């Protein structure tokens, strides 16, 4: 069974992740689904998933996809995931992958080769993505040596390639528009709170670290937004401004700090 490994690692009475029972045979002929889930677990990484033969082929990409064709991103081939996993966004309270999952990109993909199973076996799959953030031609190439799990995710040069750091430029969810802290606050925060106290297990402690990190990342992003806001106006700003609006107190504190610094200088000049 293709999902045996996926299921063996999880206790579905304790995780909100789907078990993957749905039959998906009919989807084979339709445009196939792809997604990238930004996963704040013990290490931040991006899970790149392609629908193929009723499951999601999956690669964990530590640094995330790059639009720059000269940048090859390591992609560790991991176990197939159920199709339903592709739209999952939320908190994995404990066990394998404990942390926060954000649906970072989604869309459809098509092969740029005739025979996908043969390309996978060969370790050289050329694909075309049509997502919100990732588009155009890409390659997944297995590296020589090692245990055969290491692949590289590479953007081909086309209209959708460039030097833009897409992970930094578009860091938020394509599902709810939020960041990790928003995903924690949304949905059902009890999912993680109920697992925190008195458990003493490593998973609980790890999740607590991850939650702390999610909140710290939000703080860093807000500071970044504050700087960018005064430097220039740009297309990416409008989307981010919405997220920044959730924390008006911080924004005000920042402008309050910078205003008095400028005023004395102006007065000094007048005198």
Output DSSP code: residue 88: -
- Going through the chain in order, the beta strands assigned E by DSSP cover 32-40, 44-52, 55-61, 73-82, 90-92, 99-111, 124-131, 135-142, 150-155
Nearer CB in complex with Mn ion: 75/134: 75
Q: Is 80 in the site for Mn ion (CB under 5 A)?
A: no
Smallest distance from Mn ion to CB 86, Å = 13
Q: How far is the CB of 96 from Mn ion (least distance, A)?
A: 9
Nearer to Mn ion, 47 or 222 (CB): 47
- Residue 154's CB is within 10 A of a number of other CB atoms, namely 20
- Write down the least CB distance from residue 99 to Mn ion, Å: 8
Binding region for Mn ion (CB under 5 A) out of 41-49, 107-115, 120-128, 187-195: 41-49
Report how many residues bind Mn ion under the rule CB under 5 A: 2
In this structure, the number of other CB atoms found within 10 A of the CB of residue 138 comes to 25
Least separation in angstroms between CB 87 and Mn ion: 15
Triad 216, 73, 129: Cα angle to 5°: 95
Tell me how far, at minimum, the Cβ of 78 lies from Mn ion, in Å: 7
Residue pair 43/57 in contact (Cβ under 8 Å)? The answer is: no
Nearest residue by C-beta to Mn ion?
A: 39
Report 44-73 residues binding Mn ion (CB under 5 A): 47
Q: How far apart are CA 270 and CA 75, in angstroms?
A: 59
Q: Which stretch binds Mn ion (CB under 5 A): 42-50, 147-155, 177-185, 213-221?
A: 42-50
Minimum CB distance to Mn ion smaller for 77 or for 240: 77
CB 101, min distance to Mn ion, A: 7
From candidates 38, 39, 49, 133, binder to Mn ion by CB under 5 A: 39
Rg (C-alpha) for the chain, rounded Å, is 21
Closest CA to 125 of 65, 37, 117: 117
Binding site for Mn ion (CB under 5 A): 39, 47
């Amino acid at each position: 069974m293709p999902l045996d490994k996926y299921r063996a690692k999880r206790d579905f009475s304790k995780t909100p992740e789907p078990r993957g029972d749905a039959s998906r045979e009919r989807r084979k002929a339709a445009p196939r689904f792809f997604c990238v889930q930004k996963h704040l677990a013990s290490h931040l990484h991006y899970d790149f998933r392609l629908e193929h033969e009723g499951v999601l082929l999956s690669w964990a990409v530590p640094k995330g996809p790059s639009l720059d064709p000269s940048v090859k991103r390591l992609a560790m081939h991991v176990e197939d995931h159920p199709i339903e996993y592709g739209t999952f966004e939320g908190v994995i309270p404990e066990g394998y992958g404990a942390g926060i999952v954000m649906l970072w990109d989604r869309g459809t993909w098509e092969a740029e080769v005739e025979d996908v199973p043969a390309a996978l076996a060969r370790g050289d799959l050329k694909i075309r993505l049509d997502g919100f953030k990732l588009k155009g031609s890409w390659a997944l190439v297995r590296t020589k040596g090692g245990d055969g799990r290491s692949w590289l995710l590479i953007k081909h040069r086309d209209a959708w390639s460039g030097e833009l750091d897409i992970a930094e430029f578009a860091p938020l969810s394509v599902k709810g528009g939020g960041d990790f802290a928003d995903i924690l606050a949304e949905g059902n925060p009890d999912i993680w709170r109920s697992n925190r106290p008195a458990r003493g297990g490593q998973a609980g402690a790890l999740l607590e670290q991850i939650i702390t990190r999610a909140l710290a990342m939000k703080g860093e992003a807000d500071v970044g937004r504050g700087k960018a806001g005064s430097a220039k106006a740009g297309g990416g700003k409008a989307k981010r401004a919405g997220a920044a609006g959730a924390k008006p107190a911080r924004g005000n504190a920042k402008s309050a700090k910078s205003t008095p610094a400028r005023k004395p200088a102006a007065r000094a000049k007048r005198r």
